């Protein structure tokens, strides 16, 4: 057995977000302007996390979604900024994605505030 090189190597910034729960700068993600149909995949393992139909413009500067694919995400509570927030991450690889808030649009009322660095966009075939 030799050491396999990961097929999708992460940039240092992606690593900081996915593996160390970092947060990218607001309005820095090129994903913000994507309007095409497709899927948003975990940048760590390419699991589909959000269908483009659930993306909305939250005005926060981070890609935002009101719903995710079933069982795509897992959550935990963190206190990094001194108050309880619900962190969510890829259920497959554990990569940190963002935080979910309860001030989103209908039908879920949820706002998944995602780091663009933690996602890749795959246009609909
Ligand atoms: Zn993943």
What's this model's pTM, rounded to 2 decimal places?
A: 0.90
Q: What is the mean pLDDT of residues 76-101?
A: 96
Tally of residues, the chain? 125
- At 9 the pLDDT is 84
Angle ∠(92,1,44) on CA atoms, nearest 5: 25
DSSP state of 82: S
Task: Calculate how far, in angstroms, residue 35's C-alpha sits from the geometric centre of ligand 1.
Answer: 23
In this predicted model, what pLDDT tens digit does every residue of 20-62 receive, in sequence order?
Answer: 999 999 999 999 999 999 999 999 999 999 999 999 999 999 9
Question: Using 50, 70 and 90 to split pLDDT, how confident is the model at 8?
Answer: low
pLDDT exceeds cutoff 70 at 87: yes
Task: Calculate how far, in angstroms, residue 45's C-alpha sits from the geometric centre of ligand 1.
Answer: 4
- At 1 the pLDDT is 46
57 CB neighbour count, 10 Å cutoff: 10
Task: Calculate how far, in angstroms, residue 40's C-alpha sits from the geometric centre of ligand 1.
Answer: 11
Q: Give me the phi and psi of 68, to 5 degrees please.
A: -125, 170
In this predicted model, what pLDDT tens digit does every residue of 72-84 receive, in sequence order?
Answer: 999 999 998 899 9
Of residues 2 and 40, more confidence is placed in 40
Report how far residue 29's alpha carbon sits from residue 45's, in angstroms, rounded to the nearest whole number.
19
Q: Is 113 one of the catalytic residues? A: yes
- Looking at the DSSP assignment, which residues form a beta bridge with residue 122? 39
Report how far residue 65's alpha carbon sits from residue 50's, in angstroms, rounded to the nearest whole number.
7
Of 8, 90, 93, 113, the catalytic one is 113
């Amino acid at each position: 057995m030799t050491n396999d090189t990961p097929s999708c190597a992460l940039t240092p910034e992606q690593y900081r977000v996915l593996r160390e729960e970092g947060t990218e700068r607001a309005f820095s993600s090129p994903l913000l302007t994507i309007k095409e149909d497709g899927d948003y995949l975990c940048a760590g393992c390419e699991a589909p996390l959000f269908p483009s139909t659930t993306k909305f413009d939250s005005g926060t500067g981070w890609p935002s979604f009101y719903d995710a694919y079933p069982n795509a995400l897992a959550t935990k509570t963190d206190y990094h900024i001194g108050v309880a927030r619900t962190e969510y991450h890829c259920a497959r690889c554990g990569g940190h994605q963002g935080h979910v808030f309860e001030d989103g649009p209908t039908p879920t009322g949820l706002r998944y505030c995602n780091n663009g660095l933690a996602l890749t966009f795959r246009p609909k075939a």
